[in-house]
Structure 1
């Protein structure tokens, strides 16, 4: 039994809406989201005594900047966390359970590289870490293969090993796009057909433009506190039921032995052991989709289908009229559009949507009587994670 089970809750959510270019600074995005989350919780800056920061490939905007800008006068815990979002939530939950803080603000920002007055300093390492590190990694070995290169290689291995085709990957992209059409916050909402997917610009075989998450400007923020305190607040708390992280031996793209030897398997097993709920009981499912191949493998790793059969699983549960997946005619996969269509926020958007669904406030895409959500942020290799949220 997990010591963290149902002892903390998300009581506030806020967002600085996603866009391909917000035309403002990363700090402004974070402050907009953080202010909205605190207000959503029915709290004030004086109530916040913990801060967890995160951002795309970096620690994001430093906690000291946010503490100063928001006037948080009694901060007793702060840290930075690398994405995906579970690193942030683990830190917040731990601080609440060990008494380091009573109410924690968690934020994550995504900020695209580009040209303009708010991005120039990024070239000196102040903004997105990719400005100084290329893709967010350092090439310490001459045979390294990271990011799109690594995932493309594993996607091709998947198709070859299981005798599959690109249509399996395409079903992931089409599902996300159809769901994004119901989400006004999504940046990619135009309908997508399989023909358009297959004709999409190839980035690295077999992954095309539609197989990779959409770079955006934006930020998400969450306020967490203990369940005892959450029940005294005006909003409907969403309980953190179970959390996990997973990393297997040799967690590098070029050294991983096989599909069964990844962080996904470790994170899924740990989450299953700590949770009273599992995938067949979840009302909403959020497998990560930074690359479409990740989603296929999460469906298999979670036990929804056998290895190599995720494409068939999606096809079997495809609602032709709506152009999306509904498991058993009811449970959607990434109803907000996910990283591929809402925007690439390293799992922060998935958590935001899960909270809305469990509160019953996901207007236009609400799952009837949603009481539990299962999320699996992170990829195959070094950052696989799991989360189960439920209503109080």
Structure 2
């Protein structure tokens, strides 16, 4: 008979592989089916957790439930309003997607795991293994050795890798979150291998030329330094780590490829309105602002019409567009009320992360800020990993109490 701890580890490994491996799945099944398989594997893992582990209500239980139910109500009203005003009937794809993500937020915001078994999940080995796998495949894509996996893009004649994720936009978001989780594990285990794995993930983010991934990475470092100053501990380690990552990044620029300056210019140009990609992004922002300001403001009137979810899953995606900002996307889809409830769940989840875990909190806060600039709130691996942060913090806390 399989031990419960082994079942937890196997379940998490399989679920995480499905979450980060959509590109691999797409070799065998259509894209829409790959999304469904991701959802099924992760949902099965959640069922395993709930059936094996003991959970207790948190102090956020009532506010989390109320916020979630309020968001559900606004979503349904917005969907109905969209259908009545425009006849658009595929709004439910986006409602189901957001309902799933916010359901996970509500679940892990309302309950904490006090079961010692959660401490037996081997996070460090799993996160390290997945990180090395993703980064190695990505580098091989950039070198032109692997070309079969879908989802790559090109910038300045160089490959923006997708690795196993199925998208050059998803890959850096995955590894940057894994990097911060590994850093937190390093702080509490003091094992250099975990630090090395974290550095590998951050170097992978940097050379992926992803502005969204780099924004989370650098904001996470800044927030960690601020937390260190605020709580008067961890200051030395935070600044030493920032210096180390900067030096490694400079070395990679010079050694990885002859055109190493492309990496720097790509990141620095993120703050220039007239840079490549930013002109279109700002136009999308203005489009989203105008759509919302010309609506009733409080509830959505374009539900499911401003999202890639509908474009990827619906048979009729005519008229579907994007606004390149998660915040604006929610305003247009669900109005001001829906956006407030949605980000309210994010805030609850942030405070559910145990306060002593600075790296995890820093990454979470940086990720929330990033959604105001980039459209990542519908990226499946990004969202499910974020919602799982409190569980990882519960596990690390229980380990320390046990030791």
Query: Do the two structures share a fold, i.e. TM-score over 0.5?
Result: no
Q: Which of 1 and 2 has greater Rg?
A: 2
The answer to which structure has the higher helix fraction is 2
The two structures have a TM-score, normalised by structure 1, of 0.29
The two structures have a TM-score, normalised by structure 2, of 0.28
